[in-house]
Amino acid sequence: MGKKARSGQLDEIFEILVASYAQKGGVIPPEGELCWHPATDAYETEDSFVVQMDLAGMDPSRIEVMADQHSLLVRGIRPESPSEGKKHFHKMEISIGPFSRRVPLSVEVDPNSATAVYRNGFLVVTFQRGNSGEGKKRNISINR
């Protein structure tokens, strides 16, 4: 199979994926569906547990952040950059569309202490370390 034929097949696959996403109305899909996963760092400090995600180009109002005593779930949709006319990609490394990332909370934290800040393309969620008690799943608002 020649390079041109392979490129045509990739274009077709990409169009199918985009059409599938559009048919769902651009809503955030359930976890486990076709999603990309943002690069993530999770680390401890003396008194906190921090999760940092690379979500450049996002509108924070389009990001959902939820936590319970066991994990942090971040999901949303990164839209395609607007442009004039049809695009013919030579390289495509920036993920668009729905994303989802679940991060296990590997140390004991209080999910009710969680704060989220979106700045310079990064989402940073910080939990205070300590006894979590019995917490329910909690939505976390994002500050700018």
Is the pLDDT reported for residue 121 higher than 80? yes
Instruction: Find, among 7, 17, 33, 13, the residue nearest to 96 by Cα.
Output: 17
Q: For residue 23, is pLDDT > 50?
A: no
The share of the chain scoring above pLDDT 90, in percent, equals: 49
- 28-143 placed in CATH 3.40.50.300: no
Per-residue confidence band for 2, with pLDDT thresholds at 50, 70 and 90: low
Per-residue pLDDT at 59? 92
Q: In sequence order, which ranges of the chain are alpha helices (DSSP H)?
A: 3-23
pLDDT at 29: 60
Collapse the DSSP code of 94 into the 3-class scheme (helix H, G, I; strand E, B; otherwise coil) and give the result. coil
Higher pLDDT, 116 or 84: 116
29/122 Cα distance (integer angstroms) = 22
pTM of the model: 0.77
| E strands in the chain | 40-44, 48-54, 63-67, 71-78, 97-104, 109-119, 122-129, 138-139, 142-143
